[in-house]
Structure 1
Amino acid sequence: MDLVKITEGATKLYVPDKNKYKLDSSMPVFFNDVMKLNRDITVEILKKYFNKKKFKFLDLLSASGAKGIRISNEIKTSEGVFNDANISATKLIKKNAKLNGLNVTVFNNSANKLLKSDKSMYDFIDIDPFGTPIEFLESSIARLKKNGILGVTATDTSALVGTYPKACMRKYQSKNMRTFFMFEVAIRILIKKVLDEANKQKISLIPIFSHSSNHYIRVYFKRVNYLNNYSDRICTLNYCTNCLNYKLTKKFSKSKRRCSCGSYFFQLGPMYSEEIYDKDFVKKLEDINKTILLIKKESQINSFGYYDYHKIAKKIQKKELSKIDDIIDNIIKKGYSASRTHFSNTGIKTDMKIKSFMNILKR
């Protein structure tokens, strides 16, 4: 395997030479430099959450070990356990650990076999697969300590955003279609699925941080005392494609619901209805990148969804638009909260209703 030496964060890594290998399953050990954002945010979240306390983590699908090696190297109070079914990957993990002077544990096993045979409990478990994380949820949740953190990545975004509704239903048991705030819907469907799996084990999880970046979805969950109100946190999204109005209900209706415009709502979900961030925790994070900076602002706004003003303007046939910052200023002048959102360069997070937002655009 042809390797190159790079530095990411404060960590040195040997990774496959991207000039020699395609970024796909043919790569001898998978490494994606675009996922640096994912790794940066993971390290920052764990630094602030554990706050210099000792913690044990499992990098379940380690590949090159880049994320876990960075955690071990950049957070000295961590104890790292790595696993990958690819023997070439485990050799590279050990090489990267030695490069950084780290003492870590490395397993060469399939993820679920490891979790079922090794009865260790972990303070942080990372699930970062190629595709859907579903097959790893049950075993991972069972090995998570109370107050522990579960990091879940999904790269099958075409299903989660509604491009392929049948795939979304098959994998996540949620009805879906593309909406103007589809990336937030994707996160809420993923959260619902993870909570489903936890609830089967009488375990409760709450999301403390979420983001949608570079064609993947990422959510961090905290294990908390068991909550009896699981169903209260799940909703149906009623979405009107005619006027773009939407509202939440607790359950699917057997009969069609009409929107105030006269058209029928499409019923989507079930999905998570509560906050997708822990606002107080988000405030503690350093502004290490634009994603965190934007989330710090948007997480303070109590609203479901966001408005993609380009898509909405196209719907109302408004061709000339004000700059996004001017639109946000106009919303705030009306007495509402508003900010840019990390979900989209043309997205606005606000507690203003859709009809009022359209009136702002029409000016």
Structure 2
Amino acid sequence: MLVDLNGGESMVVPVCFCVCAPAGRKSCPLCPEEKFKACYSHKLRRHLQNLHWKVYVEFEGQRMCICHLPCRHLKNSLSGDQASGRQVAHYHCVVCSVTIARKTDMISHLKRHVNKGETEASYSGSSDVPFEEPAPSGQAYEIMKELGTNVQLLPNYTTPQKSDTYFNRKMKTNRQLVFCSLAVLAEERNPLECLDAFGATGIMGLQWAKHLRNAVKVTITDINETCVKMIKENCQLNHIRVDGGSRSSRGPDGTSNEAEGVPIATVEVAKMDANVIMHLRSFDYIHLDPYGTAVNYLDSAFRNVRNLGIISVTSTDTGSLYAKSPNVTLRHYSCHIVRTEYYKELAARMVVATVARAAARCNKGIEVLLAVALEHFVLVVVRVLRGPTQADESAKRLRQLIHCQWCEERVFLKQGSMVDDNLYNQLPCNCHGSMPGKTAVELGPLWSGPLFNTGFLRGMLFAAVQHSMDDIQTLVKTLICESECTTLKSFVHGPSALTNQVECGVLIKTLQKGEESGTADQSGKRKTGEESGNVVKKLKSDASLEHPAFYYSIHRHSIRGMNMPKLNKFLQYLTEAGFRVSRTHFDPTGVRTDATLEQFKSVLTKYSVPNATTSQTSLSTEKTL
């Protein structure tokens, strides 16, 4: 409210003067009692002038003084730990009542209000509303709708440093991918107990309950009291009944928090640490999405997850995942990496390796269903396989990677405990012989197995189409082609000789047997219209059936002075040369293939043509000669 503290000047103070001290003594309205005790008016005025009025922010003739009351908390760290923060000094915006710590941030915040035409103050001198009561919903909350689910957001919801709840609009793709993976598992077993361990606003768990209804039993947890309260309010906003928090209280008679009308689903909301609830209860599906890395919660997740259940892990610590902070990478993931052209897939394989080690400690193995690395996050979805045998098989897929720093060729080390005389012999390139010094580094340990399950991805595509998720359908189709290592054109389009095959509700086109046998000769090679010339055709062996690891960027290895072919044409040329090839979601210019870098460059060189500048230079050189 507005209080006259300095001879007629209006100061914005979030609380009124409460003189609970002896007669003649007054307490500071902006400091807690334990920090500044009640004193006489002359000492109080000196305290206000030296501390609060000295760093005020002026707006529309009103001065906002700095406040030291416990109105706002700041988290101690951004490492994802669920701990209460410490009290910090802050300002209260007179327009929207939001709390901001820094003076420069408050000035920028007020400028945005002016640009929007919002200059009317929410505090008034005659107001009798205490500060502890929330502001009206139109000023304090913002209603956001995603996938038919409404959630209300607190101010500063995009910055976890300034708000207890956190919501990122850019993570919409991640939420939809997780939803589709849960929908596929819900088709396998019913009912399904699933856990959203870091609820925040609760939007992910609410989407599960609202669209999958009785097929899932959703539990949303968070350690923050404000988040739990916000989740319950969002449940009422979506006509979803809130269970009390204990497992035994789930039932049709729990109608205490029921919204108006018949509830469409029931969600259990609990204020509990993620590690605690995963130790206490078993789940079929667990999603971990802390702010940053999830390595602190993997052991608890694998401790009690049911057999053939699914664990999805979202990591947003892109600084350590994408080799910007190698010391943090070594500390969190026990892995050594460097910045490479395939750094996104390197991050995905590093997270899968960490997940596999956590599962092996609980005598469990994993089957990787999905691994996606985009700009803001890395998502890994794995199926849990119980038993020490499965754990041993998963542990065998953790290998070191040799990376050439000159040409960026890479290869996984062969299995075995014997020391190799020269590790450079395993690299297909000859940079070590032509370049001085050490030319390669050893990275890892990394996951060397496949990153995708084609059948599971087709089920996700069916779920995306069924629930009208148009934003991720293109991405899932790319993942399906990448998992099969085939081009999108041969996957979707084709001549009239193609037959239709329905799998998991998705229409897949395949070649007829007669046509397929007619396109291959007796040696098993595909016939092409012209000879490949200097390009060596690769024989198809059992090893080629494995999913090719990593990819090459066509722009990274382009030839100077030459116009390279279009990417889709280049994929066709590689296929004609006898290699498995597909595009990759990790890099829009990347090509996933089982060809070596030398073979990749030979095909690229063959079908590249000189540009105009190179042609003119060669002509002028010939005339000079």
TM-score (norm 2): 0.54
Could you say which residue in structure 1 is the equivalent of 2:444?
A: 269
Out of 146-155 and 350-359, give the one that drifted further: 350-359
Give 1:145 shift: 0.8
Write out aligned runs for 1:174-193 (5 A): 174-193=335-354
Contact 1:122-1:144 at 8 Å conserved across structures: yes
Instruction: Indicate the residue corresponding to 1:41 in structure 2.
Output: 177
Unaligned runs of 5+ in 1: none
Output the CA distance in 2 between the equivalents of 1:203 and 1:21. 38
Higher strand fraction (1 or 2): 1
C-alpha distance in 1 between matches for 2:161 and 2:318: 18
Segments of structure 2 that go 5 or more residues without pairing to the other structure are 1-133, 135-139, 241-265, 433-438, 486-546, 609-625
Task: Quote the residue 1:232 is aligned against.
Answer: 396
Query: C-alpha separation between the residues in 2 aligned to 1:333 and 1:27?
Result: 56
Distance 1:115 1:232, change over 3 A: closer
Aligned to 2:153, the other structure's residue is in SS state: strand
**Residue pairs, 1:18-37, within 5 angstroms:** 21-37=157-173
Mapped partners of 1:318, 1:174: distance in 2: 39
1:136 paired residue number: 297
Whether the 8 Å contact between 1:11 and 1:74 is mirrored in structure 2 is no
CA–CA separation in structure 2 for the residues paired with 1:323 and 1:13: 44
Percent of aligned pairs with the same amino acid: 23
Change (3 A) 1:318 1:62: farther
Greater Cα shift, 304-313 or 82-91: 304-313
- Does residue 298 of structure 1 match 2:482? yes
- Asked whether the equivalents of residues 235 and 251 of structure 1 are also in contact (C-alpha less than 8 Å), the reply is no
Shift of 1:109: 2.3
Q: Is the 8 A contact 1:318 1:361 kept in 2?
A: no
Aligned counterparts of 1:72 and 1:318: Cα–Cα separation in 2: 57
Question: Distance between the aligned counterparts of 2:416 and 2:548, measured in 1?
Answer: 19
Contact 1:84–1:90 at 8 Å: present in 2 too?
yes
Residue 319 of structure 1: CA displacement? 6.0
Distance in 2 between the 1:262 and 1:320 partners?
Answer: 26
Alignment RMSD? 2.1
- Is residue 16–residue 31 contact of structure 1 (8 Å, CA) maintained in 2? no
TM superposition score normalised by structure 1: 0.92
Q: Tell me which residue corresponds to 2:11.
A: none
Q: Which of 86, 96, 115 is the aligned partner of 2:278?
A: 115
Aligned length: 357
- CA–CA distance in structure 1, aligned partners of residues 562 and 592 of structure 2: 21
1:310 is matched with: 555
Residues of 2 paired with 1:82 and 1:280: CA distance? 29
Larger Rg: 2
- Once the two structures are superposed, residues 153-211 of structure 1 have per-residue CA deviations (whole angstroms, 9 ceiling, x without a partner) of 11112222323222211111111111211111111111111111111111222211111
Distance 1:30 1:21 in 2: 5
Aligned position for 1:66: 203
User: Structure 1 56/173 Cα, relative in aligned 2: closer, same or farther at 3 Å?
Assistant: same
The DSSP-based 3-state class of the residue aligned with 1:80 is strand
Instruction: Decide whether the 8 Å contact of 2:356 with 2:395 is kept in 1.
Output: no
Structure 2 CA distance, aligned partners of 1:71 and 1:62? 12
Matches within 5 A, 1:90-101: 90-101=228-239
Give the stretch that moved more between structures: 236-245 or 4-13. 4-13
Q: SS of 1:299's equivalent? A: helix
Contact 2:158 2:167 (8 Å CA) reproduced: no
Select 2:570's aligned residue among 327, 330, 334: 327
The aligned amino acid for 1:297 is C
What's the counterpart of residue 72 of structure 2?
Answer: none
Instruction: Decide which moves more: 255-264 or 33-42.
Output: 255-264
Tell whether the 8 Å contact from 1:243 to 1:261 is kept in structure 2 after alignment: no
Q: Is the 8 A contact 1:175 1:268 kept in 2?
A: yes
The CA deviation at 1:99 is 1.8
